[in-house]
Amino acid sequence: MKPSLQLKMGQQLTMTPQLQQAIRLLQLSTLDLQQEIQEALESNPMLESDDSQTDDTSSEGQEGLVDLSEATPEPEPQEMAEWSDSIPNELPVDSAWDEVYSSLSASSSDDDYDPLAKSSSVESLQDHLEWQLDMVPMSDRDRLIGLAIIEAVNPDGYLTCTLDDLFVSLQSQLEELEIEEVSVLQHRVQQFDPVGCGSSDLKECLLVQLRQLPPSTPHFNNAEKLITRYLGLLGTRDYARIMRQARLKEEQLREALSLIQSFNPRPGNVIDQTEAEYVVPDISVRKIRERWTVELNADALPKLRINNNYASMVKRANNSRDNVFMKNHLQEARWFLKNLQSRNETLMKVATRIIACQQEFLEKGDEAMKPLVLADIAEAVGMHESTISRATTQKYMHTPRGVYELKYFFSSHVSTTEGGECSSTAIRAHIRKLIAEETPRKPLSDNKIAAILGDQGIRVARRTIAKYRESMKIPPSNERKQLVP
């Protein structure tokens, strides 16, 4: 084949740097966006934060002032120059260091004030147990064994290996070690707070907590018998078989169960080993004069503006190296502010449309949630589904019913007998309500729940009920059965 030249016409979407930045900012959460803004402030000298919340005169002539809740027009370059000329070279200091130090000292005099409260790290279960081990007088040999046991404890409080494995691992470090020594130190650790940590299994953990009580405790012997011999039947809630084999009356079984249920099957969870995760709502929804209003959380993000001193130094016809540097940063700053404003406008459009579709949820709760998919919002606001997906990921809305991620309002639908639709969120709410109102002696099976929903016009298969129930971490009917007076 001979080489030849051909002309073709076509359309192609070009991802400009501005568009890439707009997409990246849209999909960031509020906390990530705060970090992005901080990095922009550090890298771009044309950007600065606007901390003058109450000074009206300082915000009237600023270029590109972004409140992140509403847009403000950019002033003309001449106005910027006049404003920068009016600023004196040296500004008075509002307070001296002695005044700041004295105010901090005064605030620290409060008994409840903890200067390390915000910076203190979360204490792990191992740290909590080791601290108690250090408080107990013992030899270095016993302390080494105790540390080995504590290091083998998982977050729930149970040993991750058997006592024999610990014994084998310690033999290389300690001479003439006996298995009884390891067992004695395990019993010592089990008495630490929380009681039961360091146990090998659930039976041992419950027995340790039971034997912390005096033997004269009511129903002590029956509870010990149930834990020792019938723990498996307790897990399946086969109460009839337990009463028959243990020769217990229903009242005796109920009281013994009440005592066992007062124990913690996962004692390690008492020590909170996870740092608190804070959610900053992007959108706030309130009802004003019988109408639901949507507004951006203006306090979630800092206010930004362009530094007028540097912007006024840019000369249009000058192509020097310094001037080109300042021009580029000025243009990047304007793009950044414009993309931030575009992000806020997109969030407002999407949130407003979501609330328009889910007003009944705000009025009545989860049972009134309507089916909604990304395509519905995309068609209503004139955007692509991928844009709606980015705008609803890790974005949160504060409502009178709580704080929800925007994706919470989207759910699939199930057809009703009347020809309508019911959202999966509403079905989960119905299942949760039916289980909460069921008779503990005879809990509702998945088939029965499906039949009840069918009577209400909601056609749901039994396996769908089971899937929704498992997603809400609700056990099956045989595990929900209880003995009630």
Render 357-385 in DSSP notation, one character per residue: H-HHHHHH-GGGPPPB-HHHHHHHHT--H
Predicted confidence (pLDDT) at residue 399 exceeds the cutoff of 90: yes
Which H helix or E strand runs over 413? strand 413-415
**Quick one: pLDDT at residue 10?**
76
> In the predicted model, what is the mean pLDDT of residues 3-12?
79
pLDDT at 119 (0 to 100): 43
What percent of the chain shows pLDDT beyond 90? 55
Q: What is the mean pLDDT of residues 426-443?
A: 91
Phi and psi angles of residue 417, each rounded to the nearest 5 degrees, phi first:
-65, -20
Residue intervals in the chain for CATH 1.10.10.60 = 413-480
Instruction: List the structure tokens of 353.
Output: 């449309």
Comparing 22-31, 76-85, 342-351, 370-379, the range with the smallest average pLDDT is 76-85
pLDDT digits (tens, 9 = 90+) for 84-121: 344 444 444 444 444 434 344 444 444 444 444 444 45
Burial pattern 251-285, b for ≥16 Cβ within 10 A else e, equals eebbbbbebbeebbebbbeebeeeeeeeebbbbbb
Asked whether the beta carbons of 444 and 438 are under 8 A apart, the reply is: yes
Residue type, 252: Q
pLDDT for residue 483 is more than 50 = yes
In the predicted structure, residue 273 carries a pLDDT above the cut 80: no
Q: Is the pLDDT of residue 314 over 50?
A: yes
Q: Please say whether the dihedral angle defined by the alpha carbons of residues 404, 406, 409 and 410, taken in this order, is positive or negative.
A: negative
Is domain 413-480 given the CATH code 1.10.10.60 in the classification?
yes
What is the mean pLDDT of the segment spanning 400-408? 92
**pLDDT tens column, 140-193:** 999 999 999 999 999 999 999 999 999 999 998 888 899 999 999 999 999 999
Distances (CA, A) of 10 to 5, 154, 463: 16, 61, 50
Q: How many CB atoms lie within 10 A of CB 106?
A: 9
Q: Would strands 396-399 and 283-288 be described as parallel, antiparallel, or unpaired?
A: parallel
> Helix, strand, or coil here: 284?
strand
Q: What is the residue type of 241?
A: R
Mean pLDDT in residue range 333-338: 92
pLDDT the model gives residue 255: 94
Better-scored residue on pLDDT, 363 or 418: 363
pLDDT band at 484 (very low <50, low <70, confident <90, very high): low
Q: How far apart are CA 448 and CA 223, in angstroms?
A: 34
Q: What pLDDT is recorded for position 49?
A: 85
For the cut 60, the answer to whether the pLDDT of residue 22 exceeds it is yes
Please say if the pLDDT value at position 217 is more than 70: yes
Contact 174, 145 (CB under 8 A): yes
Band (252; pLDDT cuts 50, 70, 90): very high
d(CA 451, CA 461): 9
Confidence (pTM): 0.67
For residue 63, pLDDT beyond 90: no
Q: What is the pLDDT of residue 271?
A: 87
Looking at every residue in the chain, the average pLDDT score rounds to 83
